[in-house]
Structure 1
Amino acid sequence: MPDRFAEIESFVTIAQSNNLSEAARRLGLSLAATSRRLSQLEQRLGVLLVRRNSRHFSLTDEGSLLYERAGHALTAIEEAETDLMRRSTEASGTLRIVTTIDAGRARLAPLFHEYALLHPDVTLHLETSDQPATSMIGSGHDIAICFDPPADSALMMKRLADNPRLLCAAPAYLDRRGRPSRTADLAGHNKIVVGASQGELWRRIMGGAAGWRLTLNTNDAELARAWALEGSGIGIKSLWDVQEDLENGRLEPVLPDLSLPPSTIAALYLPGQLNSPKVRSCLNFLARRLRGS
């Protein structure tokens, strides 16, 4: 006995064909099997759906009602299947991304706008957070764009680009306190630090220098930039954060020949997400654009 879906599908084909023989041909069944499916459906529902004899074929009122509703349902199912199959090969649907506030506004927003223009079937939803990696867990985001992301076994990572870092300070501060010519000269300067990882980097820069200390510490990268602009000390900043300040003379490099490890710009995503064309295409686009290719 065919299942309920097969019975309904056969009935809709019968109603569209207006002829049992034609319906049997479309279904790939024998005339007897097609007629049997119709009879089984009528028996299960307890109503006559089709008036038929050797010369006439027409739907009853109940048959017309079932055809209208079932026809719409089958069309909706076919459209859903087609859409899902298209999404398996083409970027489409809603893409949810979370990143830091400063990066989202200054750098990533224009790139996402460009991506959206290239992929009109994708609706892009961008949010900002102080901790995008943490915000992604359980929030429904597809991608988190992070800087120096923490290791997390629950998330996969794609390295997008490296963001160079440098020491910098306001010209007024350097005029007042002097411009270092070697790392040992940094010992007497105020140091602006963002988080524990930068504190460790400062220790590596200073090496065995005696008497140095961290002066201003924060977890807010924009606050650290503001302190540097106000002349509070020397900070370690990524080129993304201060490129315009350097170009406009609001900040200047300190020990420009000193090589610092770059900040990693990475995308975090859940295992299996690369199977999604919208996620895969966005990550590849960002990697190309951030690396300047």
Structure 2
Amino acid sequence: MPDRFSEILSFIKIAESGSLSEAARRLGLSLAATSRRLSQLETRLGVALVRRNSRNLTLTEEGAVFYERAGQALADMDHAESAVMRAATEAAGVLRVVTTVSVGRSRLAPMLQHYAMLHPEVTIHVETAAQLGNIVETGHDIAICFDPPADSALTMKRLADNPRVICASPAYIARRGEPRRIMDLTMHDTIAVESGQQDAWRMIDLAGVRPRRTLRTNDGEVARLWALDGAGVVIKSLWDVAEDLRAGRLQQVMKTIVLPSSPIVALYVARQGETAKVRSCVDFLARCLRQERGETIAVSGQTSPAPQRAFS
């Protein structure tokens, strides 16, 4: 027995063509099968939908009402399917992005503004947060972050690597001297960002060095402000301190020490990544971040001779 949708579709074709044989041709069915679907629909509804004679076929009053409403419902279904199918090929709709405060304000905001200009059918909604939550529960399409959680069930795309540098203020260096080797850190005050630099400090610890952790924080901006105020030596993302290095507010030390980069990643639900708006935005951010990474390194003069000790 045909399903309700098949019965209704057959009736719509019959009403539009005014003929059972023509409707059967359009549906790719036999005349008997088409007539049977119409009879089953009329039996289920309990009313006659068409008047049949030897020459033509016309709608009853009930048939005309049913044709108008059922036809509109089918048209709405077609529009809904088309809209969803376009989402896989055309970037459109609302794109909800969440990121950490510092990354969102300083890096992603102008990039997302540029993306919106290139894709006028997309509305960008950006939220910043101290810590990223579960984007499935919060309804975000993409999360952008440093150092993603190891146990995330979301799809992750690495957008770029953000180099880390060791730096201090000129005032601190003038007062305490410039550390040149890893061992020198045992004689210096250090500032540790606990939330995202455990791997970098762990590599230094594994080298047999136990720097004095004078100040600790889970806020990267607080660590930067402490370093600017001359409180100690800090490990920072190059993007976070590039302007400070260029302006001379901070000075890179131990340039030959290579620390693990901090990856910038996009997190999203696997199926969401198949939509054009998510896919195109993630690819766009990857291109922008990689280009900016190269420009930041070049402008900041971070090239150096062969590293004294490389951490990977």
- Structure-2-length-normalised TM-score: 0.81
Structure 2 counterpart SS, 1:138: helix
Shift of 1:216: 0.8
Q: 1:24 to 1:183 in 2, by over 3 A?
A: closer
Percentage of identical aligned residues: 62
Shift of 1:171: 2.4
Say which is worse superposed, 7-16 or 90-99, in terms of deviation.
Answer: 90-99
Structure 1 partner of 2:233: 234
Instruction: Show the 5 A alignment for 1:8-87.
Output: 8-55=8-55, 57-87=57-87
Structure 1 partner of 2:3: 3
Structure 2 partner of 1:220: 219
CA RMSD of aligned residues (A): 2.7
C-alpha deviations, 1:10-53, integer Å up to 9, x for none? Answer: 11122222333432332233444433332332222112222332
Query: How many residues were matched structurally?
Result: 291
Shift of 1:100: 1.0
C-alpha deviations, 1:265-291, integer Å up to 9, x for none? Answer: 122334455444433333332222222
State how far apart, in whole Å, the 2-side matches of 1:221 and 1:39 are. 73
Shift of 1:215: 0.7
C-alpha deviations, 1:168-207, integer Å up to 9, x for none? Answer: 2222333333333444443333211100663563464474
Instruction: Show the 5 A alignment for 1:1-293.
Output: 1-55=1-55, 57-132=57-132, 134-136=133-135, 138-152=137-151, 154-195=153-194, 198=197, 201-202=200-201, 204-205=203-204, 207-209=207-209, 212-292=211-291
Structure 1 partner of 2:302: none
Gap runs ≥5 in structure 1:
none
State how far apart, in whole Å, the 1-side matches of 2:42 and 2:201 are. 81
Equivalent pair of 2:144/2:267 in contact (CA under 8 Å): yes
Structure 1 counterpart SS, 2:51: strand
| Equivalent position amino acid for 1:22 in 2 | E
State how far apart, in whole Å, the 2-side matches of 1:241 and 1:124 are. 24
| Equivalent position amino acid for 2:131 in 1 | Q
Equivalent pair of 2:199/2:260 in contact (CA under 8 Å): no
Structure 2 counterpart SS, 1:237: strand
C-alpha deviations, 1:79-113, integer Å up to 9, x for none? Answer: 22222333334444443332211101110122222
Equivalent pair of 1:228/1:235 in contact (CA under 8 Å): yes
Q: 1:33 to 1:183 in 2, by over 3 A?
A: closer
State how far apart, in whole Å, the 1-side matches of 2:279 and 2:232 are. 42
Structure 1 counterpart SS, 2:257: coil
Equivalent pair of 1:199/1:214 in contact (CA under 8 Å): no
| Equivalent position amino acid for 2:144 in 1 | I
Structure 2 counterpart SS, 1:37: helix
Equivalent pair of 2:48/2:62 in contact (CA under 8 Å): yes
| Equivalent position amino acid for 1:180 in 2 | P
Q: 1:87 to 1:214 in 2, by over 3 A?
A: same
Structure 2 counterpart SS, 1:214: strand
Structure 2 counterpart SS, 1:102: helix
Say which is worse superposed, 107-116 or 220-229, in terms of deviation.
Answer: 107-116
Equivalent pair of 2:51/2:58 in contact (CA under 8 Å): yes
Q: 1:36 to 1:182 in 2, by over 3 A?
A: closer
Equivalent pair of 1:48/1:63 in contact (CA under 8 Å): yes
State how far apart, in whole Å, the 1-side matches of 2:105 and 2:123 are. 18
State how far apart, in whole Å, the 1-side matches of 2:6 and 2:35 are. 13
Q: 1:117 to 1:60 in 2, by over 3 A?
A: same
| Equivalent position amino acid for 1:244 in 2 | E
- Structure-1-length-normalised TM-score: 0.86
Q: 1:36 to 1:113 in 2, by over 3 A?
A: same
Gap runs ≥5 in structure 2:
295-312
